[in-house]
Amino acid sequence: MFKGPREAAAFCAAFEPPAGVDVVLCPPYVSLETVAATGARTYAQNVHWVREGAFTGEVSAPMLAEVGATGAIVGHSERRQYFGETDETVARRAHALLEARLGIIACVGESAEEREAGQTEFVLRIQVEAIGDAVGGWDDLVIAYEPVWAIGTGVTATPDQAQEAHAYVKSIVDAPVLYGGSVKPDNAAELAAQTDIDGFLVGGASLEVDSFTAICQAAAAFRS
- Give the pLDDT of residue 212: 98
**First and final CA of the chain: distance in angstroms?**
32
Q: Which of 48, 76, 95, 166 is catalytic?
A: 76
CA distance 70 to 67: 9
CA distance 40 to 216: 14
Query: What per-residue confidence (pLDDT) applies to 152?
Result: 67
For the chain, 224 residues long, give each residue's pLDDT as a single digit of tens. 999 999 999 999 999 999 999 999 999 999 999 999 999 999 999 999 999 999 999 999 999 999 999 999 999 999 999 999 999 999 999 999 999 999 999 999 999 899 989 999 999 999 999 999 999 899 999 999 999 887 767 777 899 999 999 999 999 999 999 999 889 999 999 999 999 999 999 999 999 999 999 999 999 988 65
> What does the pLDDT read at residue 223?
67
Nearest Cα neighbor of 165 from 135, 122, 206 is 122
pTM of the model: 0.95
Which residue is catalytic, options 85, 95, 110, 146? 146
76 has catalytic annotation: yes
Confidence at residue 125, expressed as pLDDT on a 0 to 100 scale = 97
The correct CATH number of 5-221 out of 3.30.420.40, 3.20.20.70, 2.30.30.700, 3.30.930.10 is: 3.20.20.70
Collect all residues with Cβ–Cβ distance below 8 Å to 142 and sequence separation of at least 6. 103, 104, 105, 106, 175, 176, 177, 178, 198
Quick one: which of 165, 126, 161 has its CA closest to 144? Answer: 165
In the three-class reduction of DSSP (H, G, I as helix; E, B as strand; rest coil), residue 179 is classed as strand
In the annotation, is 166 catalytic?
A: no
Q: How far apart are CA 106 and CA 6, in angstroms?
A: 28
